[in-house]
Amino acid sequence: MILLADSGSTKTTWVLLDGKKQVAESHTQGFSPSFQTAEAITKIMLAELSTEVLQQQNNNTLHVFYYGTGCSTTGKVQLMHDALAAVFTKAQITVNHDLYAAAIALCGNKPGIACILGTGSNSCYFDGKQIKESLLSVGYFFGDHGSGAHIGKTLLQYYLDGTLPKELQTVLSALPEFDKETILEHVYKKPMPQRFLASYTKVIANYTQHTFIQNLIKQCFADFFTHQVEKYSLHKQVEINFVGSVALHFKEQLQQVMQERGLKQGIILQSPIEGLVRYHLQ
């Protein structure tokens, strides 16, 4: 038996495979070893995983393959391993970075650049077998350009400064999500601020016909290419592929920025889970 987990900061998709078929799928909130303890993550898994998946807790033939955001250092990999081992006590457990999952799902066995644009952002150059180049991810505070957190933070900066176009400032001020005290409390005092910031992409999605919002999204994507993609030596020669809800939902603006920069667009997927299933079934 194989249990696959693809985890971002907001959502985790779990797929249980038996032989050559999928037998169950479950969803939980996302996990971040940078902000959560192993004990907290274990508690969430026990509360939110489906009965079909939890029935495998004592299965000594189970192999759990977890691909997750933030799993880029030995300490964070160990934290996630400990959290999973507390739930699946007899399973073999392998923890990988979500960037490797994206590369497998997007590039298959071909060279290319794989990008994640979801709550956070990341990228790598994949040679068809392994990741050959990647950049240090410094999170939502210093980086994550082009991500949901970056786009949401940029909108809030304009809003709190009072520098949005007047009609947008008026409309957004009437929404309960734009209460100044609530915004500051979530960003500075509550856990998972990147998830909170990314939630504002749902508001932005309602105003994509407004020129200011279009330009805001495009500038965030331009920052992503400047700080990430264009640092790879072969970025002009290979296709650039994307996975993540932000890439999919703002595909039009993403494609425009790529065209303006003379880049080769590959595929855009909301989630890498289908590619991971194919890979592990093989």
Q: Label each residue of the chain as H, E or C.
A: CEEEEEECCCEEEEEEEECCEEEEEEEEECCCCCCCCHHHHHHHHHHHCCHHHHCCCCCCCCEEEEEECCCCCHHHHHHHHHHHHHHCCCCEEEEEEHHHHHHHHHHCCCCEEEEEECCCEEEEEECCCCEEEECCCCHHHHCCCCCHHHHHHHHHHHHHHCCCCHHHHHHHHCCHHHCHHHHHHHHHCCCCHHHHHHCCHHHHHHHCCCHHHHHHHHHHHHHHHHHCHHHCCCCCCCEEEEECHHHHHCHHHHHHHHHHCCCEEEEEECCCHHHHHHHHHC
The pLDDT of 109-125, averaged and rounded, is 93
Backbone angles phi, psi at 186, to 5 degrees: -65, -40
**In this predicted structure, what is the pLDDT of residue 140?**
64
**In this predicted structure, what is the pLDDT of residue 66?**
97
pTM attached to this predicted model: 0.80
**In this predicted structure, what is the pLDDT of residue 70?**
84
Give me the domains of the chain, ranges plus CATH numbers. Answer: 2-100+273-281 (3.30.420.40), 107-140+218-269 (3.30.420.40), 149-206 (no CATH)
The pLDDT of 188-216, averaged and rounded, is 92
| Highest mean pLDDT out of 8-12, 70-74, 157-161, 186-190 | 157-161
pLDDT at 207 over 70: yes
pLDDT band of residue 139 (cuts 50, 70, 90) is low
Average model confidence (pLDDT) across the chain: 92
Which is more confidently placed, 134 or 282? 134
Please write the tens of the pLDDT for every residue from 169-194.
999 999 888 989 999 999 998 888 88
Closest by Cα among 54, 48, 130 to 97: 130
CB 126 within 8 A of CB 112: yes
The pLDDT of 39-58, averaged and rounded, is 96
19 φψ region: left (φ > 0), alpha (ψ -120 to 50), beta (else): left
pLDDT band of residue 256 (cuts 50, 70, 90) is very high
Closest by Cα among 149, 155, 195 to 171: 155
Q: What gap in Å lies between CA 62 and CA 71, rounded to an integer?
A: 21
Q: What gap in Å lies between CA 132 and CA 111, rounded to an integer?
A: 10
pLDDT band of residue 10 (cuts 50, 70, 90) is confident
CB 137 within 8 A of CB 117: no
pLDDT band of residue 20 (cuts 50, 70, 90) is confident
**In this predicted structure, what is the pLDDT of residue 279?**
84
pLDDT at 127 over 90: yes
